[in-house]
């Protein structure tokens, strides 16, 4: 069985991201039919219509990527009609600006009473993966599923924001030359419209201020900033150490691959924890029966505000992440568990 993504070529961005999501959660390349990418499309020297007909008659799972452009495409409507006749398993996903009240959708082959969902709906994406897991082998790793979906939603949301934000046109300001009598007058700068910049006095001694200043004054190394990003993205304010350390490192490796980040964090994890401990950012939260640490947590003074960091602080972290991006080509060993997120 295969997954056939029926879409308009004008919506290739959403199709590309959907393919990336499927591949990240374990769907094999040869299980996907997606004509906007030659790796998943029509074989060389094949007639496009005959090939698509043969693929649809083999009853793939069809994902309809519905949009205004989809209903304007004769090829898309033919795909929908052919798949509908054969009664394939299917799911309908709506692009962000699709109008569910449109005449084309209400009168089309798909029953509008069937529940579809918008592509940015995180919970419904998870439900789709659950449905696909009945026929396809999908990773059982909770962190792979969770981070793959979060990355997918983030990229979709960023793209949607770029589409709706109008480009601001700046017109040159004509400045009149001051007269001789005015030339010696000092005009104070107007700061009323300037946004406030979050700053923390270095004289402050509380832990959160120390934490913020460590970032803004560039006292933290790259791998420490990557750990902070990992904690914020995954919500893992408690980190495994001691005999459990290898489990956390495996989780980090999966996260690095999904987010295209180099292996600084997974390689230096032990030393980063020690540095955080020396800085006073962490404390022991669980012990073994022999009273050895097996879990550390970010101190409450920091963790309580970690998801609401000032914009200038988050920018420092994100700039660091950008410069540590890496295209992973080697497949890492993933520890599979039965802890499915659905």
- Say whether both 100 and 215 belong to one domain: no
Looking at the fold, whether 224 and 306 belong to one and the same domain comes out as yes
First to last CA, the chain: 22
**What integer pLDDT is reported at residue 106 of this predicted model?**
83
Place of tokens 């934490």: 211
| pLDDT of the residue at 46 | 53
User: Which residue range is the domain that position 281 belongs to?
Assistant: 207-323
pLDDT value at position 259?
87
Model pTM above 0.75 = no
- pLDDT of 103 reads 85
Beta-strand pair 3-6/117-118: unpaired
The helix (H) or strand (E) run that includes residue 143 is helix 142-164
At 198 the pLDDT is 47
Contact 129, 135 (CB under 8 A): no
Look at residue 336 and tell me if it is in a domain.
Answer: no
Asked if residue 248 lies in contact with residue 273, where contact means CB atoms within 8 angstroms, the answer is no
Shared-domain flag, residues 13 and 114: yes
- Choose one of 108, 138, 168: the last residue of a domain: 138
The answer on 225 and 111 residing in a single domain is no
pLDDT in tens, the chain (342 residues): 889 898 998 999 999 999 999 999 999 998 998 888 877 765 554 555 566 666 666 778 989 999 999 999 888 887 777 777 666 688 999 999 898 888 888 877 776 666 689 999 999 999 999 999 999 999 888 888 888 898 899 899 888 766 654 444 434 444 444 444 444 444 444 544 544 444 444 344 489 999 999 999 999 999 999 999 999 888 888 999 999 899 999 999 988 988 889 999 999 999 999 999 989 999 999 988 888 889 999 999 999 888 889 999 999 999 999 999 886 544 444 444 455 555
**Taking the CA of residue 10 as centre, how many other CA atoms within 13 Å lie in the half-sphere pointing to its CB?**
11
Domain boundary among 94, 109, 138: 138
Q: Which of 148, 163, 64 is nearest to 105 (CA)?
A: 64
For residue 164, being part of any structural domain is answered with no
Strand order across the beta sheet in which 117-118 lies: 32-33, 3-6, 61-66, 90-94, 117-118
pLDDT score, position 265: 95
Quick one: pLDDT at residue 211? Answer: 94
The strands making up 293-298's β-sheet, listed across from edge to edge, are: 238-240, 293-298, 282-287
My answer on whether 20 and 97 are in the same domain is yes
Q: Which of 29, 31, 68, 79 is catalytic?
A: 79
Within this chain, do residues 128 and 217 fall inside the same structural domain, yes or no? no
Domain assignment present for residue 133? The answer is: yes
* Residue 182, domain member (yes or no): no
Q: Catalytic site residue 176?
A: no
Question: Between the CA of residue 10 and those of 20, 36, 70, 280, what are the distances in Å?
Answer: 18, 9, 8, 52
What's the CA gap between 288 and 306, in Å, rounded?
28
Torsion angle of C-alpha atoms 87, 60, 20, 40, degrees rounded to 10: -130
Tokens of 69: 């452009």
If asked whether residues 125 and 252 sit together in one domain, one would say no
Check whether residue 228 and residue 124 sit in a common domain. Answer: no
Cβ 53 vs Cβ 40: under 8 Å = no
Which helix (H) or strand (E) covers residue 79, if one does? helix 74-86
CA distance 170 to 135: 54
129 plus 242 within the same structural domain: no
Same domain, yes or no, for 243 and 123? no
In a domain, 171, yes or no: no
Q: Is residue 202 part of a domain?
A: no
Query: Does residue 215 share a domain with residue 133?
Result: no
The domain boundary residue, chosen from 112, 138, 164: 138
* 328 located within any domain: no
**Could you give the angle at the alpha carbon of 295 between the alpha carbons of 290 and 298, nearest 5°?**
140
CA dihedral of residues 176, 177, 182, 187 (deg, nearest 10): 60
Please tell me the predicted confidence (pLDDT) of residue 110. Answer: 74
**How many independent structural domains does the chain possess?**
2
Q: Which two tokens stand for residue 265?
A: 């964090």
- Please give the sequence-ordered ranges of beta strands (E in DSSP) within the chain, or none if there are none: 3-6, 32-33, 61-66, 90-94, 117-118, 238-240, 282-287, 293-298
**Does residue 162 lie within any of the structural domains?**
no
What CATH number should be reported for the domain holding residue 121? 3.40.50.10140
pLDDT of residue 173: 43
Q: Residue 143: what pLDDT?
A: 80
* CA–CA separation, 14 and 179 (whole Å): 58
């Amino acid at each position: 069985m295969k997954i056939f993504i029926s879409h308009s070529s004008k919506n290739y961005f959403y199709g590309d991201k959907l393919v990336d999501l499927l591949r990240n959660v374990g769907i094999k390349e040869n299980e996907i039919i997606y004509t906007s990418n030659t790796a998943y499309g029509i074989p060389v020297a094949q007639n496009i219509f005959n090939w698509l007909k043969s693929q649809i008659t083999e009853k793939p799972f069809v994902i309809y990527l519905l949009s205004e452009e989809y209903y304007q495409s004769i090829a898309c409507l033919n795909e929908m009609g052919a798949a509908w006749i054969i009664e394939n398993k299917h799911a309908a996903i709506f692009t962000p600006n699709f109008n569910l009240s449109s005449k084309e959708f209400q009168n089309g082959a798909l029953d509008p009473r069937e529940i579809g969902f918008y592509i940015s709906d995180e919970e419904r994406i998870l439900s789709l993966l659950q449905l696909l897991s009945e026929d396809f082998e999908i990773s059982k790793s909770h962190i792979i599923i969770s981070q793959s979906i979060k990355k997918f939603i983030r990229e979709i949301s960023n793209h949607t924001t770029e589409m709706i934000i109008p480009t601001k046109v700046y017109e040159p300001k004509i400045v009149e030359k001051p007269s001789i009598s005015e030339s010696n007058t000092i005009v104070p700068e107007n700061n009323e419209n300037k946004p406030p910049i979050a700053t923390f006095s270095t004289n402050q001694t509380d832990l959160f201020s120390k934490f913020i200043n460590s970032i803004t004054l560039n006292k933290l190394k790259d791998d420490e900033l990557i750990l902070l990003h990992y904690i914020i993205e995954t919500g893992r304010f408690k980190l495994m150490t001691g005999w459990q350390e290898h489990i956390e490192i495996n989780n980090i490796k999966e996260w690095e691959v999904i987010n295209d980040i180099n292996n600084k964090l997974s390689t230096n994890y032990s030393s980063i924890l020690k540095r955080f401990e020396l800085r006073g950012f962490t404390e022991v939260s669980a012990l073994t029966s022999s009273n050895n640490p097996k879990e550390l947590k970010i101190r409450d003074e920091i963790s309580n505000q970690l998801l609401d960091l000032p914009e200038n602080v988050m920018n420092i972290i994100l700039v660091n992440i950008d410069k540590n991006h890496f295209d992973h080509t080697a497949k890492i060993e993933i520890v599979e568990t039965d802890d499915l997120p659905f």
